[in-house]
Copies of this chain bind each other. A is one copy, B any other.
Amino acid sequence: MPIPLPLVDDEPQERRDAARNRDALLVAADALIGEHGVDAVTMDAVAARAGVGKGTVFRRFESREGLMAAVLDRSETAFQGSILSGPPPVGPGAPPMERLLAFGHARIRLNRVHGALIVAAGRAAARSYAAVSFTAMHMRYLLRELGVQGDIAFLATALLAPLEVPILEQQVEIEGVSIEGLTTSWDDLVRRVVSG
């Protein structure tokens, strides 16, 4: 009589149909976003495209934000991968200051590309795969490497804040700043904070 051995896998394990539907929904959402843009994608449409009822969508993803966060997850995971094991200067191997600057540039580019999706994911993004906490953690790590004194956690937040989507949008769309201008200004900010 083999005992179930609840090792790492303590989740009650998803039923086969549930897993299938989750995949189908993510594929459908991804496709619809690609075709019509994030803002035009409705939950009914996603459900219909995946061939499931609407209730199923909400059972799996809680809310529209939750679904968007799940879609976003793929690209965020890739981003994390490039930090953890990608080529320098974003990945390991470059000196901390170079990594820090490169990280910011990458984040700016990514936030410009996925802006609408990130906004649509809202606070659900923070809850799910913890994009927020991962980037903050990495930031704090780099600041520590650089020997920065003071409230590292807050300084990390403060350096990340101007890279947030709404602020980037304000700068680019309304004040007409270019991406290059943005990155060089951010570099300046980083140097001030680090050397301060």
Which residues of A line the B interface, CB within 8 A? 123, 126, 132, 150-151, 153-155, 157-158, 161-162, 164, 166-167, 170-171, 174-175, 177, 181-182, 184-186, 188-189, 191-193, 195-196
Q: Closest CB-CB distance, A125 to chain B, in whole Å?
A: 11
Quick one: closest B residue to A167, CB to CB? Answer: B161
Q: Closest CB-CB distance, A108 to chain B, in whole Å?
A: 12
Question: Do the beta carbons of B193 and A154 come within 8 Å of each other?
Answer: no
Majority SS at the chain A contact face: helix
Tell which of B155, B167, B188, B191 touches A157, judged by Cβ atoms closer than 8 Å.
B167
List, in ascending order, chain B residues with CB within 8 A of A188's CB: 150-151, 154-155
Q: Which 3 A-B pairs have the closest CB atoms?
A: A192-B196, A161-B161, A154-B185
Other A-B pairs, 20, CB within 8 Å; known A155-B189, A157-B167, A161-B164: A123-B166, A126-B170, A150-B188, A151-B181, A151-B184, A151-B188, A154-B177, A154-B181, A154-B185, A154-B188, A157-B170, A158-B161, A158-B162, A158-B186, A161-B161, A164-B164, A164-B166, A192-B193, A192-B195, A195-B196
